[in-house]
Amino acid sequence: MSASQSYTLRGQLTRLDTTTRITLAVLALASGVYTYLGVRELLDGTATTVFLGAIVYSSAVSVAIYAFWSYLMRFMPHVRQPGSRRMLYVAMGLGAAMIIAMSSWLNAAALAGTAALEQHLAVTTEEYQGKLNEAHENALAAQSLLPDIQLASQRFARLSEQEARSGVLTGTSGSGTVVQLLRQMSNQLTGLQGEITASREDVKTLFGEGGERLSAMRQLVSSQGPIADRANAYAEQAVALSGLITALQQTSVAPTVRRAAEDLGRTFIAPIADGAD
């Protein structure tokens, strides 16, 4: 090899060594930055304590990465014996595992932790949407019984009038036990009708407020800013929405309708045409 070729080769090696150092420094710095971000999210305490702890740990990680790979790349070309090279590979594997344990999961938390939490909040929002819709549908289903209850109340009222006037059921006119029972059933169904009518406005109001809470929760998920602050605000909205869902479930008149139907079945005895027991 001529002197000029040797000089050129040494120049290339020098530039390669410089490039390698810069590359390692950049990678170590990037890992240190995201390690700092990950550690800062995990530490508790005052702002100064969190800052110093994150800086010290991320600096240690950056120095460890740079020093480890720098020494390893310098030693590797000089280790020629197979046994020694295998030991060097083992040391490289152990060192890489330690670096991963020290920083990689923190880097992942800093890079993808916010996105993962936002995804979780988005899924939770859809679950709350389903619960709110279910409670609303149950409340509306109970209110759909209103025409039937109105019709039944009118029938009992009409039967009581006919029984009092002409004895259409028992054959004896006048205000007897059957008339009183028919009027009682009519009044009970009329009261139930009033409860259902009054609950309509409550259901509408609660469902509207629940929709506003869900809108605020979706806004928090998609907005910018620290995820911790948004998660706290989201939790407040979720608690309020849970209360609205519970209140919406309690406005359902289905249990009242069921009790009224059971009372009607226990107390009302339909007369038999021939008068036999």
From 61, 79, 112, give the residue that closes a domain.
Answer: 112
For position 128, what pLDDT does the model report? 92
> Quick check: 89 pLDDT over 80?
yes
For position 120, what pLDDT does the model report? 82
Higher per-residue confidence, 227 vs 112: 227
From 68, 92, 112, give the residue that closes a domain.
Answer: 112
Rounded average pLDDT over 103-131: 78
Q: Please check whether residue 226 lies inside any domain of the structure.
A: yes
Q: How many domains does the chain have?
A: 2
Domain that holds residue 171: 115-267
Do 39 and 103 lie in a common domain? yes
Do 8 and 134 lie in a common domain? no
Q: Please check whether residue 20 lies inside any domain of the structure.
A: yes
Do 224 and 99 lie in a common domain? no
> Quick check: 8 pLDDT over 50?
yes
Buried b (16+ CB within 10 A) or exposed e, 173-194: eeeeebbebbbbbbebbbebbe
CA distances from 185 to 46, 159, 171, 199 (A): 69, 11, 20, 21
Do 101 and 158 lie in a common domain? no
- Residue 92 gets the label, from left (phi > 0), alpha (psi -120 to 50) or beta, of alpha
- Alpha carbon distance 232, 117 (integer Å): 12
Higher per-residue confidence, 213 vs 114: 213
For position 9, what pLDDT does the model report? 64
